[in-house]
Copies of this chain bind each other. A is one copy, B any other.
């Protein structure tokens, strides 16, 4: 958990900047201007950039797990997948944000080791959840039976990550497209 309102605000804005500009493009200076606080004050809360990104990732992680809990309340596997896909649509609508996971993956090379591991973990959470929902859908006849369930889950995840990235380059609604496409793939 975050221990102050200021720290919380920093995380919120840093998260946005990470998702839009990326790790190497955002700076303590930009951050300080957006928040209305000096860079030294940000260093007080998060001594290094690595500390800050880790905190952002932890927060993102926690919020995402809560969302998955919400999603799990949906009454069918189809509704779960559609609500999952809607998260990507909503994220992109907020100023062209992409998944933090994709944003950090594109700058993975220059990231502190600990953050790299966090990103890897985050990917697995997506895959695990999607695999479960796909299995559920197959079990109750909503979805086609498929040979390699986890491969399916991975590729659906990849489609959304790729769609968000590419969506920035054109006016086409690629994420909504992906959302509809996935359903066509899964349903008999």
Contact = CB atoms under 8 A, between A and B. Distances in A.
A98 B101 CA distance: 15
Interface stretch (A7-15, A20-28, A47-55, A58-66): A20-28
A139 interface: no
Interface stretch (A76-84, A129-137, A173-181): A173-181
A127 to B, nearest CB: 9
Oligomeric state, in copies: 2
B181 A152 contact: yes
Contacts of A22: 22, 24, 106-107, 109
Given A22-B22, A162-B162, A105 B168 contact: yes
A34 interface: no
Contact of A110 (B25, B120, B160, B161): B25
Nearest to A122: B169
Given A109-B25, A123-B170, A178 B165 contact: no
A23 to B, nearest CB: 8
Contacts of A109: 20-22, 25
Contacts of A185: 185
A158 interface: yes
A159 interface: yes
A126 to B, nearest CB: 9
Interface string A102-113: 110111111000
Given A22-B22, A25-B110, A102-B106, A155 B165 contact: no
Interface of A: 20-22, 24-25, 98, 101-103, 105-110, 116, 119-120, 123-124, 147, 151-152, 154-155, 157-163, 165-166, 168-170, 172, 174, 177-178, 180-181, 184-185
